[in-house]
Structure 1
């Protein structure tokens, strides 16, 4: 999954999960640890990412289909995961949830911390995340735009 906070990634990822994929969610992992505010301190972010990467590698080794419910806001990060997975025989497919800035901000304002995909953020942070997001391009590999 790829898109800024509030784009709709988790909604799409949960549908894929219902269809049999294993969903790994950064936000859900933080929620399960009792964390109720974002953004995370960098040391905790690195810890969670390392655990999710290890789970990803294990699941792929078991032959499971996995959806990564992360933002993947930079091409560099997307490339890192491609490099991680290609030696395991996987060509990752990017699903980019292209959503307008106005819709993203509106969705984030409506969040109420009801579950692990429902973190609230100040408008300024949402706008900053949106403005710094690097949309994927076809030259990165297989790409679906929703």
Structure 2
């Protein structure tokens, strides 16, 4: 899953679970480690990614289908996961959630820090996330763009 905070990544990832996917969530992992404030320090981010990548490798090696729920905000962040999967013979498909900016900002304003999918993101930080986000492109590898109107997220038919 790829998209800025508030794009619907976690919702979409959970929709894939009934199809047999295991969801690995950056936010859930950080929450489990006790982190409630974003952005996370660089060392904590690395720890969370290390844990996700180790689990991803284990699951893929045993043949499970996996969806990684994190922003993948930069091309290099997506390449790092591709590099981990390549030796296993796996070419991941990036599902990019193309969500309108006003919808993202509204969702983030409504967050209350009640859980890992509800981490409060201050307005200034939300804008920085959006402005710094590098959209994936087809030259990176398989890409599915999921465009949706507010609150109408559906699996592609």
CA drift of 1:82 comes to 1.0
1:115 aligns to what? 115
1:50 correspondence with 2:44: no
Q: What TM-score comes out, normalization by structure 2 length?
A: 0.90
Q: CA deviation at 1:144?
A: 0.6
Aligned residue for 1:143? 143
Gaps of 5+ in 2: 147-157
Gaps of 5+ in 1: none
Provide the rounded CA distance (Å) in 2 between the counterparts of 1:96 and 1:77: 14
Q: Within 1, Cα distance between the matches of 2:87 and 2:33?
A: 31
Equivalent residue runs for 1:4-43 within 5 Å: 4-43=4-43
TM-score (norm 1): 0.96
Hey, what's the Cα distance between the residues in 2 that align with 1:80 and 1:36? 25
When the two chains are superposed, the root-mean-square deviation of aligned CA atoms in Å is 0.9
Is the contact made by 1:26 and 1:48 (CA closer than 8 Å) also made in structure 2?
A: yes
- Tell me, in whole angstroms, the C-alpha distance in 2 between the residues paired with 1:134 and 1:119: 22
SS in 2 for 1:108: helix
4+ residue segments displaced more than 4 Å? none
Query: Secondary structure at the residue paired with 1:68?
Result: strand
